[in-house]
Every structure is written in C-alpha cells, then in structure tokens.
Structure 1
Amino acid sequence: MAEKRPITVATGDGIGPEIMEATMHILEKAGAEIDPEFIDVGEKVYLTGNSTGIPQEAWESLRRTKVFLKAPITTPQGGGYKSLNVTIRTAMGLYANVRPCVSYSPVIENKHPDMDLVIVRENEEDLYAGIEHQQTPDVVQSLKLISRPGSERIVRYAFEYARQNNRKKVTCLVKDNIMKLSDGLFHQVFKEIAAEYPDIESSHYIVDIGMARIADTPEEFDVIVTPNLYGDIASDIAAQIAGSVGLAGSANIGDEIAMFEAIHGSAPDIAGKEIANPSGLLHGAIMMLVHIGQPEAAQKVHNAWLKTIEDGVLTGDMARGKASVGTKEFAAAVVERLGQSPSTLEPVTYSNKTIQKEKDIKRPKHEVKRELDGTDVFLFNNTLTVDEIGQKLERAAGDTFEFVMMTNRGVKVYPDGFSETFLSDHWRCRFQKGEGKQVKQSEIRELLSRIEDEQLDWIKLENLYRFNGKIAYSLAQGQ
C-alpha cells in the first residue's frame, strides 16, 4: 500500500466545517491517499489577537506538508484584520491563481452551454503588491509592478496547464495600448513563451474588449492568462455568467506550496443548517488530487459528482426551486456514484503529466545595456502659478540639464502646455541632457539642491533610463 500524502486541512468558519466534512468523506470513499493534518485558521484565531488569522503552528504544518485544503473563513468586522488568503499567497509565494469556470447546462440553467474556460491569474505582482503613497493633499499613487521573471513563470504555467489538460488555446489579456511598459512587458513575454508551444494556439485581447467577450461569448476562450487585477475581475465575471459561483474551486500554486479552496465565502447565515453545497470545496480538492499526483482519484470523484447532478440530486442553490437535498445527502449521493460517469454531461479525464515549474527551467539571460537618460522630479505646490514654477525650474536646470517639460496628472502644462487641463498640487518635472549625453547620479543630486534653493518642495524622483538604446519611460501627453 502506498504511503499516504500528508496535507494540511482547515475546516474554516460558517459553513466550512460542514462542507469540509462532506468533502473529506467523499475523498476517503474514493480512495484518495491523503493523511490530513487539521489546523485552526480564521475567525477564532483573529479573535485571539492574531491579525493574520493564522498561528505559528499552522505555518509549520504548511511548510511540512506543502499542500493546503482550506474551507472558507470569516474575517471579523472592523479594521486591523489582514486577508488570510493574501497573507498566505504572498508569504508562501503562491504566484498562480487557477480558476476553472464551466457551464453544466442543461442540468443547471445557463445562457452559455458551451462555456468551459480556465483563468490563470498572476497572484503576487501588479497593483496588488499594495505599494501606495499619499504624496500631496490632492494626489495618491499606487505602484504597478510587473517583472519579467514574474511574467515568465505565470505565462509558462498557463501554457503548461493547457498542455497537461489537453487545452488548445491560451489567450493573454492586457492593456498595453495604454500601459506600454508594464502591460507591454507582460504581452512581450507572452509572445516569447507562446513561440515555445507551437502545438497550442495563442491569442491576445486588450483587456476591456477581452472581458466584454468573456461576458458575451465565453465559448471563444479556453485558457486565459492575465496580470493580477484583470484576473481578479475576469474570474468573477466568468464565474457569475457560468452560473457556478457556488460550484467553482480554486487553486493557488507556488514552486513549493499550493492552496486549494472554494471561491465562495463562509455564509454564516446558513451555517449549521446542513443545506450548504460542498461542490466548490470538492472541486478545489479535485484540483489538489491532480496536483499531488493522484489523477485517478480526481477523475473518479469528478465524474461521480457530474453523474450526481445529472441524476437530479441537487442542493438548494443548484435546484432553484426544484426538489433539493442537504449537505450530507449530497455527499452520500456522490459516494454512491463513485466509479460511474455521466452520460449527458461530458466525462472528465486527468493525466499523469505534470506541469513544468519555472524553477526547473533554465531562463535565458537578457543582455542589457542601461544608460541614465535624465530624471523626473515630482513637486508639491499649491501656491505658485505654472509660469512661476517653470521659471524657477529653468534656473535650477543650470548649465547641466535641459528642463524639458512639466506635467500635471500626466498632461504637459509647461512650456507651451495645455492651459485647459485641470491642475492638482502634484507636478512632474523632466530634466535631461542633449541627445546621446549620459547623466551622472551626482548631477541629479546637485539638481535637487538647486531645486531646494529655489524654495520648491520636491517629493520624489524617478530616473529615466534607456535599455539597449531604447527609451524605457513614457512620454507625456502633449510631449
């Protein structure tokens, strides 16, 4: 008999204990070779004064088993409590969020009967890095961070996922017509990696029309890969139109550790009534079985679940007014059908193929020549006119720099700027030398001193670089 695979299990809050009991019962009867270690996370841990919702012994279990099956948890009302999911994702390096969104028509009514897509969302970078600053009374900033290594591993994961699961196409959603550098990098990496997978079709949409197409014609899509923010929005849109928010599972995958869960919340209003649908958590568990190399058990459970709903055994949220069963009765019905397959719905198959991890791949070295081309100095000012600031900056530029322009909220306002633009108290001031002349950091320090001498309040700077001779910074509107 094979040694059972240790996994960490959290029963969660609200309906969590009920649906976890049902899920574990099904897995046991299906012959899943797992050895659960139960931990406490969530509401009761928060209320002990632990702002993360997860105690030290739980971290130790996660590091030991490297697999986490988690029921929904409740975050207490009020401030000071951090998102448990975000904490685990960032602390454990869970870079890929994988969410299948499937129509189960005609068993469950749906406007898109052919919908069967998977969203692979980058899980650590982008605006969700949460790096924000208030710089002036009028203006705050949030830094959007997109890295080449982060983009490479999420895009490669999407193509490997497609290959492992017999998917035919991977689609990239970005907004690189506007964010040409950040989203542009993600798209460029997508094109590079897509070329390594000639057996899989690749396509690209600007995110706004891409999401519109998800809502209108989701059957066009197979696997979607996208940065963090867009993926968060797209996955909720897709789950909603699939009619399966209560049915969908989710995986959060890292190089070492993975977390599996339902996408819905803890539903405290129905806790203890034994009417909750365990399907979302069960689908998360199915993804877990595939991840730990037990595809046969995953296939057995999934097909039994499909046969169960096909036979009309439904919890209240699926029945929609028709006869329904409770949590335990539904789990018993799935167990009764283990070894069976659906006839109307499409049976599923899982393979022993594994997804190649980024750390196993020898990444190419990109030889880059970096040159300092100038600097953008940001000012706080709510008293001086545009011309008064401009004249002071002309003097501060001295003989070393050319004061190229000043913008407000990205629009050029000096010299010869757009007087019609609404002005905030936050100003970007660009200084460069002539074409081909490199800037020294010592010269920038001296520039800042001269700006201070002009009684101007600088709040930050961003250096301007060329990489391999190509400018790597945005031009202003009107520049």
Structure 2
Amino acid sequence: MAAKSPITVAHGDGIGPEIMDAVLKILDAAGAQLAIETIEIGEKVYKKGVPSGIEDKSWESLRRTKCFFKAPITTPQGGGFKSLNVTVRKSLALFANVRPCVSYHPYVRTTQPSMNMVIVRENEEDLYAGIEHQQTDNVVQCLKLISHTGSERIIRYAFEYARANGRKKVTCISKDNIMKLTDGLFHKIFDKVAKEYAPAIETNHLIVDIGAAKIAAAPHIFDVVVTENLYGDIISDIAAEVAGSVGLCGSSNIGLNGAMFEAIHGSAPDIAGKGIANPSGLLNAAVMMLQHLHQEKVAENIHNAWLRTIEDGIHTGDIFNPQVSARRANTKEFADAVIERLNHAPRFFKPVVFGEGGTIKMPEVSLPAPATKKLEGVDIFLHWRGQGAVEVLAGQLKSLSNSLKLSSIDSRGLLVWPDAASKTEAGDHWRCRFTAANDTAPVTQEQIIHLLQSISKAGLDCVKTENLYSFDGVRGFTVAQGQ
C-alpha cells in the first residue's frame, strides 16, 4: 500500500462541518491514502481574540503537511478581523488560485450548456496587497502592486496547467488600455511567455470589461484564463454563477511549497445544522487535492462517481429541478449516493481521465536583469485647501525651488495646471510634479530633500512623495490625463 499523504483538515463554520464529514466519508470509501491532522480555524478562534482566525499550533500543522483541505468559515463582522484566506495564501506563498467552471447541462440549470473553462488567478499581488492610506479629508488611496516575477510565475503556471490538462487555449485578461504600467507589464510578460508554448497552445488577450461580458454571454469561447488578483476574483464568481451553481465549484490555491483546497461558497449559516447543504463544491476541491497529491486514479473514480450521481438525478435542494431530478437528497444521502456509484462511469458526461498530459511543471522565475535607472524628478502630493485658484498654489511652489522645475499639477490624475482644459478646484489632494530645471540638468536626491524641506517650512502639508525614474531610457511613470 502506498504511503499516506499528510494533509491538514479544518471543518470550518456554518455548513462546513456537515459537508466536510460527507466529503471525508467519500474519500475514505474511495481508498484515498490520507494521513489527516485536524485543526480549528474561523469563528471560534476569532472569538478567542486571534485576529487572523488561526492559532500558532495550526500553522505548525500547515507547514508540516503542506496541504490544507478547508471547509468554509465565518469571519465576524467588524472588530478588525482579517481574512483568513488572504492570510493563508500570503503566509504560505500560494501564488495561483485555480478554479474550474463547468456546465453540467441538462442536469443543472444553465444558459451556457457548453461551458468548460478554468480561471487561473494571481493570488498575492495587485490591490489585494492591502496597502491603503487616507491622505486627506477627501482622498484615500490603495496601491496596486504588480511585479515581474509574480506576473511571470502565474502566467507560466497557466500555460503549464493548460499543457498538463490537454487545454488548447490561454486567454490573458487585463486593463492595460488604462493602467499602462501595471497591467501593461502583465500583458507584456504574457506575450513573451506565450511564444514558448506556440503553436501548441493558442493565445489571445481581452480587456477585462469585454472579457467579463464574454464570460457571461459566451463562455464556450474560453479554455484557460489567466489574470490578476482583483479581476480573477470577480470573473471567477461570474463564471461559477453562469455555470449553474456556486455550490458545485471547488478551487485550489497552489504554491511552490504548499497548497490549499476549498469550496468557493461561504459558510451559509442560515442553513447550518439542517443537513441539506450541497457538498459538491468541497468534493470537487478534494478531487483537485488528490490530483495534487498524485492520487489521480482515486480522483478519477470519485469525480466519475459524482458525475454519475448528477446524471442519475440525485440532487441536493440547491440544484433540484423537478424536470430532470429523480430525488431530492440531503447532505448525507448525496454522499452515500456518490459512494454507491464508485467504480461506475458516467453515461452522458465524458468520463474524466487525469494526468494524461503529464504533471504541471512548477515555474521557476528570477528577478529581471538590473536596468540603468535614472532619477528624472519627483511627484509631491499635497493636502491643500488654500484660498484662490490652483495658480496660487503653483506660484507658491515655483518660489520654493530653484534647482527643480514645477512641471504640472493634477487632481486625482486630471491635469489642472498649466494650460489645462479642466480648471476644477473641488479637491484637497494635489499631485505636484517637479522635474529637471532644463534638459541637460541632472536630478539628485539632495535636490528633492531640499525641496521637501522648503515645502515643510512654507507650511504646506506633504502627504506622499514618489520619485520618478526611467529604466534603460524608458519612462517608468505616467502623465496626467490631459497632459
């Protein structure tokens, strides 16, 4: 008998314990070789005063097993409690969120019967870095961080996933028509990596607006989608809903040294304890976990038995349809039905076969080669509610610096000085850009420090600075709208 794979299991909150018990029963019946360590996370831990929702001893288990099988949890509202999912993903460096979204027509209601796509979402960066500041009475900011290494890693993983699973197309979704540096970097790296997999894997790119619309209206045109954190969070829920039921979808969170598997739905406290929850999402997550643990045959057996159960019309209440369902099953009855169908292939759906394309090669990435970096100026953000037009502020700033030139002032990205089409004054947050006094003059850190000292002595409130650099002669900053 093969050695058992160590995993850490959390039964969660709400419906979590019910569906976890059902899924573990199926795994045991199918012969999954698992050495289970159980931990407590979620609401009870939060209420002990642990803001992360997970205790130190549980971290020890996760780092030991490197595989986390997790039921949904409840995060208490208010009180500064942190998202456990985000904490685990970042702490274990789980860079890839993988979410298959498949239609099970005609047994599960959907408007898109041919849908069969996988969304691969970057898990650690983007706006979800959680770096936010209030800068003025009127303005708060959230930093969007996109790295070369983070982008390349998730993009390579998406192509490797496609290759290993016999997928023929990878679509990149971004918003680089607006965010030209951050999303532009993601798109640029996608185009570079795509060449390594051509012509075996087809590629294309969509702006997130039309991409989300097409996922809702024509998901059959997609195979594998790779995207950034925020976009992936949004479009994966759209895709799950279009497929027919959020309750059917599982997801995996993959890192170089660990993984987490879970259903995509929440803890549903309104039906907790009633024994009617659908365990399918968590079961499909378990199938992904077994593939990760190289127990592909067990995974195939379970998934095919689940497909046969769906075909036979044994459905929980969330997907029950009198026109196609034979029996409304509770959580335990549904699990028993899957167990009864182990070693039975589906008749309508195509039986799954895992691992035909080989294993996923985990991406190895490195920092980009150092560029020639040149200081070109500085953006100084001011909290200013002075009297008069913005020309008053411009005049004051010009008088404070002899070595650097005030080039522009904008309000939330819209140029307001000089010669701006917009003369809006309704704001208290101003980005003031200083550059070299002339085309040949250098810009130094000492000049910037001197300028900041002058601004402070003048009683102006500097809330942030951002140095402006070029890299190998290419400008590493954007200009204001209207400039």
Q: Measure the CA separation in 2 of the matches of 1:365 and 1:76.
A: 42
CA distance in 1, matches of 2:425, 2:166: 53
Return the match for 1:443 from 441, 444, 447: 447
How many Å separate the matches in 1 of 2:482 and 2:11?
57
For 2:205, the equivalent position in structure 1 comes to 204
SS at match of 1:406: strand
Distance in 2 between the 1:211 and 1:439 partners? 44
* 2:152–2:365 Cα contact (<8 Å) kept: no
Structure 2 residue 284 is the aligned partner of structure 1 residue 307: no
Distance apart, 1:412 and its partner CA: 1.5
Partner residue in 1 for 2:248: 247
Contact kept? 2:46, 2:75, Cα under 8 Å = yes
2:337 maps to what in 1? 333
Q: Which amino acid aligns with 2:297?
A: E
Q: 1:426 aligns with which of 429, 434, 448?
A: 429
Residue 416 of structure 1, CA deviation:
1.8
**Which of 361, 365, 369 is the aligned partner of 1:356?**
361
Letter in 1 for 2:430: W
Greater Cα offset, 412-421 or 139-148: 412-421
Tell me what 1:373 maps to.
376
Counting aligned pairs with the same residue, the percent is: 58
CA pair 467-46 structure 1, distance change in 2 beyond 3 A: same
Deviation at 1:413, TM superposition (A): 1.4
Aligned to 2:416: 413
Q: Which amino acid aligns with 1:213?
A: K
> Cα offset for 1:126?
0.5
Over residues 420-441 of structure 1, what are the superposed CA-to-partner deviations in whole Å (9 max), with x where a residue is unaligned? 4353101111111133543110
Give 1:365 deviation, angstroms: 4.2
CA distance in 2: counterparts of 1:271 and 1:430, whole angstroms: 56
Q: Which runs of 5+ in 1 are unaligned?
A: none
Is the counterpart of residue 41 in structure 1 residue 41 in structure 2?
yes
Kindly state the Cα deviation for residue 478 of structure 1 after the two structures are TM-superposed: 2.0
Partner of 2:476: 472
Q: Does 1:271 align with 2:275?
A: no
**Long gaps (5+) in structure 2:** none
After superposition, the Cα gap between the structure-2 partners of 1:402 and 1:122, relative to the gap in structure 1 and judged at 3 Å, is same
AA matched with 1:396? L
The 8 Å contact of residues 371 and 438 in structure 1, kept in 2 or not, is answered as: no
The structural deviation recorded for 1:77 is 3.6
**Could you tell me whether the CA contact under 8 Å between 1:130 and 1:142 is conserved in 2?**
yes
Instruction: Report the alpha carbon displacement of residue 364 of structure 1 after superposing the two structures with TM.
Output: 7.2
Contact persistence 2:250–2:285 (CA under 8 A): yes
User: 1:31 is matched with which residue?
Assistant: 31
Cross-structure match for 1:147: 147
CA distance in 1, matches of 2:413, 2:136: 15
Is the partner of 2:236 in helix, strand or coil?
Answer: helix
**Counterpart of 1:432 in structure 2: which amino acid?**
T
Moved more, 320-329 or 278-287: 320-329
1:362 and 1:87 map into 2 onto residues whose CA distance is 23
Question: How many Å separate the matches in 1 of 2:173 and 2:208?
Answer: 5
Equivalent AA in structure 2 for residue 412 of structure 1: L
1:67-466 equivalences under 5 Å are: 67-198=67-198, 199-321=200-322, 322=325, 323-351=327-355, 353-358=358-363, 361=364, 363=366, 365-385=368-388, 386-398=390-402, 400-433=403-436, 434-466=438-470
The one-letter code sitting in structure 2 at the alignment partner of 1:278 is P
What CA deviation, in whole Å up to 9, does each residue of 1:191-223 have, x standing for no partner?
A: 111111111111100110111111110001011
**8 A contact 1:175–1:207 mirrored in 2:** yes
Q: Is the 8 A contact 1:248 1:284 kept in 2?
A: yes
CA RMSD across the alignment:
1.4
CA shift digits 1:93-143 (9 cap, x unpaired): 111111111100011121101001111111111111110111111111110
Query: Are the aligned partners of 2:149 and 2:367 in contact in 1 as well (CA < 8 Å)?
Result: no
Deviation at 1:59? 0.6
Residue pair 2:43, 2:75 contacting (<8 A) in 1 also: yes
Q: 1:436 to 1:156 in 2, by over 3 A?
A: farther
Q: Does the 8 Å contact 1:103/1:244 carry over to 2? A: no
CA contact (8 A) 2:416 2:423 kept: no
CA contact (8 A) 1:308 1:337 kept: yes
Q: Deviations over 1:330-360 (max 9, x none)?
A: 11111111111112112211016222223xx
Q: Distance in 2 between matches of 1:173 and 1:188?
A: 12
Match for 2:8: what amino acid? T
| CA distance in 2: counterparts of 1:15 and 1:454, whole angstroms | 60
The 8 Å contact of residues 101 and 244 in structure 1, kept in 2 or not, is answered as no
Contact 1:15–1:266 (CA<8 Å) still a contact in 2? yes
Aligned residues: 476
Greater Cα shift, 116-125 or 74-83: 74-83
Residue type of the partner of 1:455? G
Q: Return the alpha-carbon distance in structure 1 between the equivalents of residues 418 and 73 of structure 2.
A: 56
Residue 409 and residue 118 in structure 1: after superposition, are their counterparts in 2 closer, same or farther (change >3 A)?
same
Equivalent position amino acid for 1:440 in 2: T
Deviation of the 1:44 alpha carbon = 1.5
Please state how far the C-alpha of 1:419 moved relative to its aligned partner.
Answer: 4.2
